[in-house]
Structure 1
């Protein structure tokens, strides 16, 4: 039953990201603590997000701006290497706290977002986006901010972001594999979520220019905030 519910949630969050360009990964990472043990939270999320982003990039491959990819990749490799070392210092119990706090700050703190926007270089964005994802799961808004400034076409933003997020989640999955996480223990669930994420990417791509993204994102902020508070409160329960 959990597999079916998670598949449906993955489908809907993938539709959201395919249509709006962001938000689905954050929503999924906020919901997953209700279904998975803490040690599986970030690696399972990462693997399903690889499929979501790769499929979204495939459906929009004509709009991908490949010139930004090498810079982002170099920054990502350095960032993941450094932040992976920090995992030894983090107690797994506090991962929901990091995730919830990051979500709330990115949604509601203009100061936090202003500081993020200062990292204009793709090298630096890759460093922080992929590095931080090892700890908080997903950091899509970092690169979206830069892409929106550089490319006015929303299709280019969504497709290129999908490629860069694929890099982030792939590196993150390799980190957890290196740390000994056994993906095979969740294989059935992961395959089902992957299939749903690909279908969601397809539907979201078709809906991209047919919905009011601003209204949808406002509703998403409210839902995400509730989920973030719930995630933080699990630390104290």
Structure 2
């Protein structure tokens, strides 16, 4: 059967993941963030740990290519150019990093940053300049390769520097595209065999493009106020989930 040949998983699970790719891509395109974290939560239930972050990264790469292609006119190119060197530095660090922080600390650190940017006084202007964007690119790329959960952190940073819902979605998508692109390098160096999962990844990417198209149609119907409210609460809920996970890991549960 065609569905069975897509990956080492069962046909039913493969079909569910393809449908999930449509939903999560539509969610991110409409609300601005959250689809990637929903995707990795679902993949974690059914996929071997060694395949989780690399497969998630390649599927999200394809999804962000679609979003970037459909919103490229709204990308803040200044932010993107400043973000790129940081992405390269973060990927190189991830490829060679030997020391890992204690379990839970990464999740709690990301959650604290996201909650501060959503509900705190906001980042200082200096942090939103070229140097700040470069540092954000490096740190979030490193975190992305280690825990696969940097999307809320990138989105929280982009939220501070962009005006308008389309600019936020477009710039976030372009930055995440660069970040997920590095995972092919990081996990290739680590010896991960993408070939076993390639058919499923390609079908999920195609499904994600359909989801992005649907989500962007919904985005155009949202007012700026409604989008900002949904964006903030989506980030907050994702951060609270990271607090829960980080707390459990820190306590050894």
* TM-score, normalization by structure 1: 0.81
Distance in 2 (CA, whole Å) between partners of 1:197 and 1:77 is 26
Q: What are the equivalent positions in structure 2 for 1:57-206 lying under 5 Å apart?
A: 57-86=68-97, 88-90=98-100, 101=108, 105=112, 109-110=115-116, 117=123, 119-120=127-128, 121-206=132-217
Question: Greater shift after overlay, 70-79 or 209-218?
Answer: 209-218
Change beyond 3 A, Cα 1:99–1:183: farther
**Contact 2:117 / 2:156 at 8 angstroms: preserved in 1?**
no
Distance (whole Å) between structure 2 residues aligned to residue 203 and residue 24 of structure 1? 14
**In the alignment, does 2:210 pair up with 1:210?**
no
Deviation at residue 183 of structure 1 after TM alignment: 0.8
CA deviations 1:61-109 (Å, max 9, x no partner) are 11122222221111111122113222x4459xx6xx57765675566x5
Shift of 1:45: 0.5
Task: Decide whether aligned partners of structure 1 residues 45 and 126 sit closer, same or farther in structure 2, where only a CA change above 3 A counts.
Answer: same
Between structure 1 and structure 2, the one with the greater Rg is 2
Equivalent pair of 1:7/1:196 in contact (CA under 8 Å): yes
Match of 2:4 in 1: none
Q: SS in structure 2 opposite 1:28?
A: helix
Aligned equivalents of 1:202, 1:178: Cα separation in 2: 34
CA distance in 2, matches of 1:147, 1:56: 16
On the 8 A contact 1:144/1:161 being kept in 2, the answer is yes
Which sections of structure 2, spanning at least 5 residues, go unmatched? Answer: 1-11
Shift of 1:149: 3.0
| Separation in structure 2 between the aligned mates of residue 81 and residue 113 of structure 1, nearest angstrom | 33
- Cα distance, 1:35 vs structure 2: 1.4
* TM-score between both structures, scaled by the size of structure 2: 0.77
Contact 2:37 2:149 in 1 (8 A): yes
Residue 146 of structure 1: how far off its partner (Å): 3.6
**For 2:218 and 2:20, how far apart are their aligned partners in 1?**
17
Change (3 A) 1:187 1:231: farther
CA root-mean-square deviation: 3.2
Q: Is the 8 A contact 2:118 2:232 kept in 1?
A: no
Matched positions, count? 231
